[in-house]
Amino acid sequence: MRKEFWQEDFEVLGKNDLKKLQVERLNATIEHAARSPYYKTLFQQKNIHKGDIKDIAQIRDLPFTTKQDLRENFPYGFLTLPKKEIIRLHSSSGTTGNPTVIFHNRHDLNSWANLMARSLFCAGIRDTDVFQNICGYGLFTGGLGFQYGIETLGALSIPAGAGNSLRQIKLMQDYGTTAAHAIPSYLGRLYEVFQSAGLDPKKDTKLKTLVIGAEPHTDEQRKRIEEMFGVRAFNSFGLSEMNGPGVAFECEYQNGLHIWEDAYVVEIVNPDTLEPVPDGEYGELVMTTLDRQSMPLIRYRTRDITRIIPGKCECGRTHRRIDRITGRSDDMFIIKGCNVFPMQIEGVLMKIPEVGSDYLITLVTLNGTDEMVVEVEVKKEWFKGDIRRLDNLTKMITAQIRDEVLAKPIVKLVEPGYIPKSEGKAVRVVDNRVNGVTKENISCS
């Protein structure tokens, strides 16, 4: 029989068995955490003990942990073990203030490598694949995280590192790369290098699978990547505070990312009230590690905005699926009483062929009313000199954004090249409102 799962025991666990496992592991996590200076004090203050948790819903009685807590207790405040036991650290590149650092012992690294292998298997990658990891190694988790996962899975790994597109193409051709991991924005540039070298990745490589992640992207971007390279592209989600990649991954159905609930307790909360939201509604992802010994984190506020996709996945895995990340809770703004994430607007624009994907949202106060001005570029090749066509385009974009975010924008068409090109995390929202972020209690208009 063909092997369908990396770990059938865990991946298709029934709902009740999964909850039972979570309760068991959460109590163990509390026990581990209580050995760290930070949680020891906190648990004493809040009267939290191991064995307190009888039902996984009781996790709501536990306090949240924030990035600020990690920074304030830098570097060892969350460490549960003597340094002798620790074998690796990964750290964010904080340019201001303390970086965020996560420590791992051998158990933690093995657990992470296993989750990563499970994730790759879930996306259809097998030990027969040649996997090129086009990603920076070092403190960034995307390099070593994937590396250990590929090796655990048993595929042939090419630790290519980031950049140097011509060398990436040569590696692909020399070793017959069948699968690769890269950030979505890089793949666009790589494709251009293929083209300028007179090559077509569809014909001139053996690529069949791409894994994309580490930066927010839309489903339209994924489809473009799939067309450019003639592959299937799978969404990968992770964050260094939860190890790195391998937290949640798409399966062959490409309809949301299975988040590994034997390793994490997953909650979605309203970022303002911190109350849980129902499945299907967007909110901030809150995660608790269940299998990390050196540095457990309890109810960590990831600041990533997503939702649980309701219903069962056809692949048979019982772990729930999260939707692609639509932004950071910090990026969210409120206009006319509606919560808006810039990625929602980007998603609308990417579906309209006449406009480019570069845009700028400016929040302004006009005659005492807050307005959202969305500037979009009209693509050169679509311009036919017809004023009515452009007027209709403006109306169409206005209506589509309004349908998506429920607040009516003021859409302005601009000449190509006048909006700064996005380099990774570009500024997409400028808030020039008189009262800054206003949170008036008016209904969506």
Partner 1 sequence: MAYEVSIFLENKIGHFERITNVLKETKINIRSMAINDTVNGWGILNLLVDDPDKAYEALSEKGISVALRKVIALEMKDEAGGLDDLLLQVAQADVNFNNALGRTIQETQTAILVLNVDDYEESIAKLNAKGIKILEDQKVYGNQ
Of 69-77, 132-140, 311-319, 367-375, the segment contacting Zn ion by CB under 5 A is 311-319
Compare residues 251 and 335 and give the one whose CB is closer to Zn ion: 251
Q: What are phi and psi of 20, to 5 degrees?
A: -60, -45
Of 269-277, 305-313, 329-337, 399-407, the segment contacting Zn ion by CB under 5 A is 305-313
Listed in sequence order, the residues at least 6 apart from 323 whose beta carbon sits closer than 8 Å to its beta carbon are 256, 257, 282, 306, 307, 308, 309
Of 6-14, 65-73, 247-255, 404-412, the segment contacting Zn ion by CB under 5 A is 247-255
Q: How far is the CB of 390 from partner 1 (least distance, A)?
A: 7
Compare residues 99 and 416 and give the one whose CB is closer to partner 1: 416
Residue 373 and residue 376: Cα distance in Å, rounded?
A: 10
Binding to Zn ion by residue 313, rule CB under 5 A?
yes
Binding site partner of 391, from Zn ion, partner 1, none, Cβ cut-off 5-8 A by kind: partner 1
Compare residues 323 and 377 and give the one whose CB is closer to partner 1: 377
Compare residues 281 and 415 and give the one whose CB is closer to partner 1: 415
Residue 111 and residue 115: Cα distance in Å, rounded?
A: 6
Binding site partner of 83, from partner 1, Zn ion, none, Cβ cut-off 5-8 A by kind: none
Q: What are phi and psi of 217, to 5 degrees?
A: -150, 165
Bridge-based pairing of strands 86-91 and 101-105 is antiparallel
Of 67-75, 240-248, 251-259, 338-346, the segment contacting Zn ion by CB under 5 A is 251-259
Residue 108 and residue 32: Cα distance in Å, rounded?
A: 13
Binding site partner of 313, from partner 1, Zn ion, none, Cβ cut-off 5-8 A by kind: Zn ion
Q: How far is the CB of 251 from Zn ion (least distance, A)?
A: 3
Question: Residue 276, preceding bond cis, omega within 30 degrees?
Answer: no
Binding to Zn ion by residue 322, rule CB under 5 A?
no
* Number of residues that this document lists for the chain: 445
Q: Find out whether 67 and 284 touch, Cβ atoms under 8 Å.
A: no
Assigned token pair, 338: 């509606």
Binding site partner of 99, from Zn ion, partner 1, none, Cβ cut-off 5-8 A by kind: none
Question: What does the binding site for partner 1 look like in residue numbers (CB under 8 A)?
Answer: 378, 380, 383-385, 387, 390-391, 394, 411-418
Compare residues 192 and 215 and give the one whose CB is closer to partner 1: 192
Bridge-based pairing of strands 264-269 and 257-259 is unpaired
Bridge-based pairing of strands 369-378 and 355-366 is antiparallel
Binding to Zn ion by residue 251, rule CB under 5 A?
yes
Compare residues 313 and 411 and give the one whose CB is closer to Zn ion: 313
Q: How far is the CB of 318 from Zn ion (least distance, A)?
A: 10
Of 20-28, 161-169, 317-325, 430-438, the segment contacting Zn ion by CB under 5 A is 317-325
3-state secondary structure of 277: coil
The single-letter code of the amino acid at 208 is: K
Compare residues 194 and 249 and give the one whose CB is closer to Zn ion: 249
Return the percent helix, strand and coil in the chain, to nearest 5.
35, 25, 40
Assigned token pair, 367: 């005659």
Residue 424 and residue 375: Cα distance in Å, rounded?
A: 19
Compare residues 199 and 419 and give the one whose CB is closer to partner 1: 419
Among residues 315, 349, 393, 411, which is the contact residue for Zn ion, using CB under 5 A? Answer: 315
Compare residues 216 and 356 and give the one whose CB is closer to partner 1: 356
430 beta partners: 362
Bridge-based pairing of strands 429-431 and 355-366 is parallel
Binding site partner of 252, from Zn ion, partner 1, none, Cβ cut-off 5-8 A by kind: none
Q: How far is the CB of 154 from partner 1 (least distance, A)?
A: 49
Per CB under 5 A, residues contacting Zn ion are: 251, 313, 315, 317
